[in-house]
């Protein structure tokens, strides 16, 4: 914002008041929706407990304030000579610098703005060199499991320890063509179990065998610092909507060479540097070699700015403090669930594995959709149920467990398959203690006393029966 200092003050000063600690919210970073009340089927209202951060985290109040302060200055990016266009371009490019600093990128790395983690990994899949082999664990979210289907893909079985993950990858890489390009894709933190993966060790294994590695940091970046240099990954991808910035933007950051050598992910304005008609009637195009090469069209400047704002807020709050407090919430939930024999927490690496605030479980005698519906309708608690866009992983974790249908909500299953689904609770920097304490109390009461209301299946979902 150096070109327009007065406007810069306007877009940052507005965040000051709202960053003051909220006495009603025992969380280090206030979020929108913290005072929203919802009706209960049993009567009355309660403050909504948003415990589905792993799907979409609420917007930080600071992010909302920064975006609102900038909105009157909104203008086209890279397109105009006017004041607002120049200011918006400055803000957009400074946001790129902020994200690079947040990720501790190497000199020469590119930060490409996308729509989401899914979009980022599909972009990387589109620029793979010819003949590239891809190695991915079956435990990945579909965003990092599915984009590689036009390449030669080796799907690796779910490991049961971090060391086994490294050993599995090393064996697979040892069998590959040592002269061709290769890419490993791995998550930083599971969106199902919350467990942290040995990213640095996997990166070392990849590089030792001449492969590159991309980190899906969608669930890691909101909870832990991510350093491209310390982890020694080649690329990192994440989504704004997981990072308290739900305005439709994502990031792919990392090495520039594969990005520069490939055709643009999307062809259009912004990606092209020069376009000219040929004598034969065709068109010659010179593409940008910067990040703009893969950012065709009018950029989502508000989405990009919101990510930069969230990066600054998390950095200023201090990840040491955020991680310590989140561990307190994790311990509270896990200790509470351990007191209920009917509850089984899902895990790949075991109880002692470090994790972020994402915990999935099943309850004996309950269909997970029914249990999640009762948490919402009777306690005002929002969680997730299903297979969490990680079907192979959840099926592996639940494969031998019987699933009781309960009153309603059993998901459809293919012929010969059991109906499988689980419950996921997830939280972060905006979660007050009361939300997780209410959740633990609700689980215990539902298991002990059952639901107070009747439920039915409607459009594949378990909902309160109001008839």
As annotated, the active-site residues are 389
237, two tokens: 């991808």
Which ranges constitute the DSSP H helices of 81-147? Answer: 83-102, 117-126, 142-145
Question: Bridge partners of 461?
Answer: 458
Packing angle of the helix pair 301-317, 61-70 (nearest 10 deg): 140
Q: Name 65's Cβ contacts closer than 8 Å, sequence gap at least 6.
A: 14, 15, 18
Q: Which residue has the tokens 């969106």?
A: 191
Q: Which of 249, 387, 376, 268 is nearest to 306 (CA)?
A: 249
Cα 235 to Cα 63: distance, rounded to the nearest angstrom? 25
CA-based nearest residue to 71, from 241, 243, 249, 247: 247
Q: What is the H or E stretch that residue 9 is in?
A: helix 5-13
Selection from 331, 323, 421 nearest residue 368 by Cα: 421
285: DSSP letter:
E
Q: Measure the CA–CA gap between 285 and 294, rounded to whole angstroms.
A: 14
Query: Are 24 and 34 a contacting pair, CB within 8 Å?
Result: yes
137 φ/ψ angles, rounded to the nearest 5 degrees: -75, 145
**What distance in Å separates the CA atoms of residue 217 and residue 243, rounded to the nearest whole number?**
10
DSSP string, 432-448: -HHHHHHHHHHHHHHHH
User: Which two tokens mark 366?
Assistant: 């309950």
* Strand, helix or coil for residue 275: strand
- CA 191, distance to chain mean position in Å, is 8
Instruction: Compute CA distances 179 → 129, 133, 150, 170, 174, whole Å.
Output: 13, 11, 20, 16, 12
Distance CA(336)–CA(51), nearest Å, equals: 16
Q: Is 359 left (phi over 0), alpha (psi -120 to 50) or beta?
A: beta
């Amino acid at each position: 914002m150096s070109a327009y200092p007065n406007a810069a003050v306007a877009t940052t000063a507005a965040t000051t008041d709202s960053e003051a600690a909220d006495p009603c919210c025992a969380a280090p970073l206030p979020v929108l929706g913290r005072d929203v009340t919802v009706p209960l089927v049993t009567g009355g209202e309660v403050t909504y407990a948003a415990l589905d951060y792993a799907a979409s985290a609420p917007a930080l109040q600071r992010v909302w304030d920064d975006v609102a302060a900038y909105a009157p200055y909104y203008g086209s990016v890279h397109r105009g000579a006017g004041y607002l266009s120049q200011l918006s371009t400055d803000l957009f490019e400074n946001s790129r610098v902020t994200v690079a600093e947040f990720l501790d990128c190497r000199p020469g790395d590119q930060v490409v703005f996308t729509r989401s983690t899914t979009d980022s990994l599909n972009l990387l899949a589109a620029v793979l060199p010819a003949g590239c082999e891809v190695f991915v664990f079956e435990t990945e979210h579909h965003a990092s499991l599915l984009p590689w289907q036009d390449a030669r893909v080796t799907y690796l079985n779910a490991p049961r320890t971090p060391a086994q993950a490294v050993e599995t990858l090393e064996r697979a890489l040892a069998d590959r063509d040592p002269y061709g390009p290769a890419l490993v894709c791995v998550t930083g933190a599971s969106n199902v179990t919350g467990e942290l993966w040995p990213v640095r060790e996997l990166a070392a294994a990849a590089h030792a065998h001449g492969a590159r590695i991309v980190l899906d940091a969608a669930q890691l970046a909101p909870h832990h610092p991510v350093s491209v240099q310390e982890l020694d990954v080649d690329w990192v991808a994440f989504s704004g909507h997981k990072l308290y910035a739900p305005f439709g933007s994502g990031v792919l950051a990392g090495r520039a060479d594969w990005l520069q050598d490939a055709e643009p992910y999307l062809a259009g304005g912004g990606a092209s540097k020069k376009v000219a008609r040929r004598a034969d009637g065709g068109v010659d195009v010179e593409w940008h070699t910067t990040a703009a090469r893969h950012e065709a069209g009018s950029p989502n400047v508000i989405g990009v700015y919101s990510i930069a704002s969230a990066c600054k807020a998390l950095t200023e709050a201090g990840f040491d403090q955020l991680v310590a407090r989140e561990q307190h919430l994790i311990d509270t939930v896990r200790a509470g669930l351990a007191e209920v024999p009917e509850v089984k927490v899902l895990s790949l690496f075991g109880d002692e594995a470090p994790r972020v605030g994402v915990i999935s479980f099943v309850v004996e005698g309950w269909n997970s959709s029914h249990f999640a519906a009762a948490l919402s309708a009777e306690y005002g608690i929002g969680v997730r149920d299903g297979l969490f866009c990680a079907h192979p992983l959840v099926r592996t974790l639940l494969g031998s467990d019987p699933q009781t249908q309960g009153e309603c909500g059993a998901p459809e299953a293919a012929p010969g398959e059991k109906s499988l689904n689980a419950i996921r609770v997830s939280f972060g920097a905006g979660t007050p203690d009361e939300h997780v304490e209410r959740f633990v109390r609700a689980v215990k009461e539902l298991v002990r006393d059952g639901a107070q209301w009747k439920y039915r299946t409607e459009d594949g979902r378990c909902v309160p029966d109001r008839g």
